[in-house]
């Protein structure tokens, strides 16, 4: 269970309002790679972790921290929205290009819906959703997702840093960017730890016997776009990162089998091709197989 301290993890106070920028900042709160995603994801991975101990504890530590980041962003967005124009707009648009730009560029829901508060949506007003989150039960697979989440998150935060010259906003972002640095490193260290602990290896899931996969194509690069520049990468030659194969470049690949037989129509579904009854015998055969 959780306890809340009203103090913020870090100060969230802009030098002055900026309603357009408030809309931009929604991206890292409620976007695909925003704080909602990482908070709920790390907590869910922690709650579903199939082993007690350091991994589960670490997941819950960081998930709990990300909740604080949602709070900081919601606070900052509220303050950036202060004083946004809420009265007759046409007049403003006609008379003043700066206000016109604010009217045109701010998220209208910030005024109409939330009364100048943050929303759980991205910078275009699209709601955050539970399918942004991944918790597969396989920590190696999930930790790689966590790495990219922190990379995308830091990338977006640095872009937002460059989009403002407000010192208060930049101060908060400099804290969040530093935490993303930590978390990128943390997940990379955790991936190494999983290997060192013998819990998982490449390719994921390593417990599935590779003898059951079609090993003739396990390390083969298929050149399917014109040009052979792709041959020049280390993904097309030399040993594979899992240490279990040698990359091989298939320069002129083609289909390994012919055109498939079309699926057989079921008469009661009125699909095109069943009118002449040509295929009905086959359908009966399929029905026999099913029952």
What whole-number distance in Å separates Cα of residue 276 and Cα of residue 265?
Answer: 12
Q: Does 1 bind its own copies (CB under 8 A)?
A: yes
Binding residue (CB under 8 A) for its own copies from 35, 162, 168, 280: 162
Binding residue (CB under 8 A) for its own copies from 35, 225, 280, 281: 225
Using DSSP's 3-state secondary structure scheme, residue 143 falls into helix
205: left (phi over 0), alpha (psi -120 to 50) or beta: beta
| Alpha-carbon distance values, 266 to 47, 205, 271, 287, 290 (Å) | 45, 39, 7, 10, 13
Which of the residues 57 through 86 are near its own copies (CB under 8 A)? Answer: 57-58, 60-65, 67-68, 70-71, 74-75, 78-79, 81-84, 86
- Closer to its own copies by CB, 38 or 79: give it: 79
- Closer to its own copies by CB, 38 or 204: give it: 204
Taking only Cα atoms into account, the Rg of the chain, rounded to an integer number of angstroms, comes to 27
Binding residue (CB under 8 A) for its own copies from 38, 102, 167, 280: 102
Contact, 201 vs 208, CB < 8 A?
no
Backbone torsions φ then ψ of 248, nearest 5 degrees: -145, 135
Query: Taking CA 129 as the corner, what is the angle to CA 42 and CA 164, rounded to the nearest 5 degrees?
Result: 80
Q: Does 168 bind its own copies (CB under 8 A)?
A: no
Q: Binding marks (x or -) toward its own copies, 176..195, rule CB under 8 A? A: -xxxxxx-xxxxxxx-xxx-
Q: Does 42 bind its own copies (CB under 8 A)?
A: no
Q: Does 139 bind its own copies (CB under 8 A)?
A: yes
- Closer to its own copies by CB, 38 or 164: give it: 164
- At closest approach, how far in Å is the CB of 119 from its own copies? 7
- At closest approach, how far in Å is the CB of 241 from its own copies? 4
- Closer to its own copies by CB, 38 or 103: give it: 103
Q: Does 18 bind its own copies (CB under 8 A)?
A: yes
What whole-number distance in Å separates Cα of residue 239 and Cα of residue 246?
Answer: 4
Which of the residues 229 through 288 are near its own copies (CB under 8 A)? Answer: 229-236, 240-242, 245, 247, 254-275, 283, 286-287
Contacts of 23 (CB under 8 A, 6+ apart): 105, 106, 107, 110, 123
- At closest approach, how far in Å is the CB of 248 from its own copies? 9
What whole-number distance in Å separates Cα of residue 9 and Cα of residue 199?
Answer: 34
- At closest approach, how far in Å is the CB of 27 from its own copies? 5
Contact, 20 vs 101, CB < 8 A?
yes
Binding residue (CB under 8 A) for its own copies from 35, 38, 165, 167: 165
């Amino acid at each position: 269970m959780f306890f809340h301290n009203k103090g913020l993890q870090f100060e969230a106070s802009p030098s002055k309002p900026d309603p357009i920028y408030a809309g931009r900042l929604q991206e890292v709160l409620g976007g695909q790679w925003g704080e909602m995603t990482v908070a709920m994801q790390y907590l869910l991975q922690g709650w579903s972790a199939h082993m007690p101990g350091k991994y589960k504890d670490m997941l819950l530590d960081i998930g709990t921290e990300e909740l604080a980041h949602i709070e900081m962003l919601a606070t900052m967005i509220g303050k950036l929205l202060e004083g946004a124009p809420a009265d007759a707009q046409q007049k403003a648009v006609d008379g003043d290009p700066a206000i016109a730009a604010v009217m045109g560029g701010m998220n209208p829901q910030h005024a109409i819906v939330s009364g100048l508060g943050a929303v759980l949506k991205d910078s275009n007003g699209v709601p955050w959703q539970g399918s942004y989150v991944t918790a597969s039960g396989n920590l190696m697979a999930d930790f790689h997702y966590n790495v990219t989440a922190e990379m995308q998150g830091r990338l977006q935060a640095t872009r937002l840093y460059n989009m403002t010259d407000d010192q208060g906003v930049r101060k908060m972002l400099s804290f969040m960017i530093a935490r993303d640095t930590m978390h990128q490193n943390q997940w990379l260290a955790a991936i190494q730890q999983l290997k060192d602990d013998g819990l998982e290896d490449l390719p994921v899931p390593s417990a599935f016997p590779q003898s059951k996969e079609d090993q003739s194509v396990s390390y083969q690069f298929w050149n399917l776009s014109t040009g052979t520049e792709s041959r020049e990468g280390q993904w097309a030659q030399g040993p594979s990162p899992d240490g279990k194969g040698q990359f091989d470049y298939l320069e002129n690949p083609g289909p390994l089998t012919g055109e498939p037989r079309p699926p057989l129509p079921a008469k009661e579904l009125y699909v095109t091709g069943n009118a002449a009854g040509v295929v009905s015998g086959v359908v009966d055969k399929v029905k026999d197989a099913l029952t």
